[in-house]
Amino acid sequence: MSIAKRAPAGSSRRASAIQILSLGWPMFIGQLAVMANGIIDTAMAGHLSATDLAAVAIGASVFYTVYVGLMGALQAISPIAAQHFGGNRPLEVGDTWRQGQWMALALLGPGLIAMCFPQPLLWIAAAPEAVNDRAMLYLNALAFGLPAALWFRAFTTLNIAVSRPRVVMAINLLGPVCKVPLNLLFIGGWDGIPALGIPGLSPMGGAGCGVAPAVMYWVSAVIGWLMLRRSSFYRPFAMHGLGWLKWPALKELMRMGLPIGGTYLIDVSAFNMVTLMVARLGTETVGGHAIVSNVAAALYMLPLALSGAAGVLSAQQLGAADPAAARRIGWHGIQLVVGLAILTAIAVFALREPLAHAYTSNPEVARVAVSLLALVSAYHVFDAMQCTVAFALRAWKVTVAPMVIFAVSLWGVGLGAGWGLAFGLGMGVAGFWIAAVAAVALAGLSLMVLFERVARRQIDATTR
């Protein structure tokens, strides 16, 4: 059986958009399904109590700060495997996958330590003891699922690289279906719905929301493993078994993956550090901020999916030695994603009040959320921009410079200026969001300049 071929590059915006949307929509549905788990947790915890909502918000901030950094490192599998796939080198695709598993094993230890001993991060939040206790239980449950989560992330990046995202979409759709009943087993009921309960187990409140994703990570990993074993599509890649550690291939993954992981960590840590610092402003403010953070993260799923699709298509063209087509798809992807983000931002601004009240019945929490959703609309446009350009650069294996740009923008402007606006000028949580808008705008525009320079340099080198 021969390896499936990459699609030829489209020369017009319309042709590129069709290719990006065709590859990106299953990724979007799958990512939205993952995000739905967080939305369900926020909604269910929010209807339990402000304490439960704050515990889930803080616990999720710690988890995603840790997990997204690890997940980002594994993202290196995608552009490397996509270039091999585009160049019709199936055995190298399999080698990339196996070395990716070795990298996942190396990342597991630090991840477990950070999740099982999160006290330094919880200390930053300065939250009440009841909130911290439930956040700890939430994180302990999620730590159980971390090994499976990392393996499944490697499986996800591989399938995206070989233009097979529907496999991951189908598996991810299981999560929201199982989420509510699994939550009810542990949290102790919700809005008049009695807890299903497990004999001998006391209700965990909002902390019980961490059990369901841990279970689903293992279910997803088992399904993915069975597919690798039984599907004929994967046979040309010779992917069975862990194989021997190959330092040159692993070194390439680490050279790309560690800066990508660092970029993800900078992004998410800046975002979630705000949640921890906002905890000083009171439970209702934390709840309102948690709602708008959840909305912003849900909105990010479409740019993330389409950016990943455009990046994979660009990497496949680079693997086929066509940098001009790779650059063209990259720019068409940027235009498509930013255009859609502007339309989405307009809709969010218009619907900010019903959105806030859909999340919570607490009027003070809703008031905070409504006031912040206007800023989220502007944030989304620039966040979509930086996401698309970052993925375009990864296709060209450029990862260190973007990490530096993100560090300066998000930590320097986002956190530094945000702290000054929030506490120095007394603007409260709105100060952090104003600074966040400025930070992602700076990052996106800087990455655009870098992308054009990188692409032009390689095109010029191939035409000499």
Task: Work out the pLDDT band at 365, boundaries 50, 70, 90.
Answer: confident
Over residues 6-18, the pLDDT tens digits come to: 555 556 788 899 9
Q: What is the mean pLDDT of residues 316-332?
A: 93
Predicted confidence (pLDDT) at residue 367 exceeds the cutoff of 90? no
User: For 149-184, how does the pLDDT look when each residue is reduced to its tens digit (9 = 90+)?
Assistant: 999 999 999 999 998 989 899 998 988 888 777 777
| Distance in angstroms (rounded) separating the CA atoms of residues 181 and 173 | 15
Distance CA 351, CA 371 (A): 12
Q: How far apart are CA 172 and CA 38, in angstroms?
A: 13
Tokens (6 digits) for 1: 């059986």
Average pLDDT estimate for 24-43: 82
127 band by pLDDT with thresholds 50, 70 and 90: low
For residues 16 and 275, the answer to whether their CB atoms sit within 8 Å is no
Structure tokens at 37: 């788990």
Residue 1 banded pLDDT, cuts 50, 70, 90:
very low
Q: Which region, left, alpha or beta, applies to residue 203 given φ > 0 means left and ψ of -120 to 50 means alpha? A: beta
State residue 240 phi and psi, 5-degree precision: -70, 140
Is pLDDT above 80 for 264?
Answer: yes
3-state class of 114 per DSSP? Answer: helix
Q: What's the CA gap between 400 and 129, in Å, rounded?
A: 40
Amino acid at 446: S
Contact criterion met (CB below 8 Å) for 287 and 275: no
Residue that the structure tokens 């700890």 belong to:
136
Give residue for tokens 């970052």.
Answer: 390
For 52, the token pair is: 């439960």
Residue range 288-299: mean pLDDT, rounded: 85
Query: What whole-number distance in Å separates Cα of residue 152 and Cα of residue 280?
Result: 36
CB neighbour list of residue 296: distance below 8 Å, 6 or more residues apart: 376, 379, 380, 383
Q: How far is CA 211 from CA 41, 142, 187, in A?
A: 11, 6, 10
Highest mean pLDDT among 129-133, 277-281, 283-287, 418-422: 418-422
Mean pLDDT of the chain: 85
User: How many angstroms from the chain centroid is the CA of residue 36?
Assistant: 13
At residue 347 the predicted structure's pLDDT band, cuts being 50, 70 and 90, is: very high
Q: How high is the pLDDT of residue 124?
A: 66
Residue type, 71: M
Render 22-41 in DSSP notation, one character per residue.
HHHHHHHHHHHHHHHHHHHH
| Chain-centroid distance, C-alpha 413 | 21
Using alpha carbons, select from 296, 283, 293, 265 the residue that is nearest to residue 377: 296
**What are phi and psi for residue 363, nearest 5 degrees?**
-65, -35
> What's the confidence (pLDDT) of residue 197?
47
What average pLDDT does this structure show over 389-404?
A: 94
| Predicted confidence band of residue 405 (pLDDT cuts 50, 70, 90) | very high
- pLDDT, tens only, 69-105: 888 889 999 999 999 999 899 999 988 888 988 999 9
Q: Report the pLDDT value the prediction gives residue 344, as an integer from 0 to 100.
A: 95
Tell me, what's the pLDDT at 203? 57
At 351, phi and psi to the nearest 5?
Answer: -110, 20
Residue pLDDT, tens place only, 199-243: 444 556 666 777 888 888 999 999 999 998 888 898 888 877 777
Domain extents for the chain? Answer: 13-463
Predicted confidence at residue 199, as pLDDT, reads: 45
Is residue 332's pLDDT more than 60? yes
Which one is predicted more confidently, 41 or 303?
303
**Segment 381-393 mean pLDDT:** 95
Cβ 35 vs Cβ 301: under 8 Å = yes
What letter does residue 361 receive in the DSSP assignment?
A: S
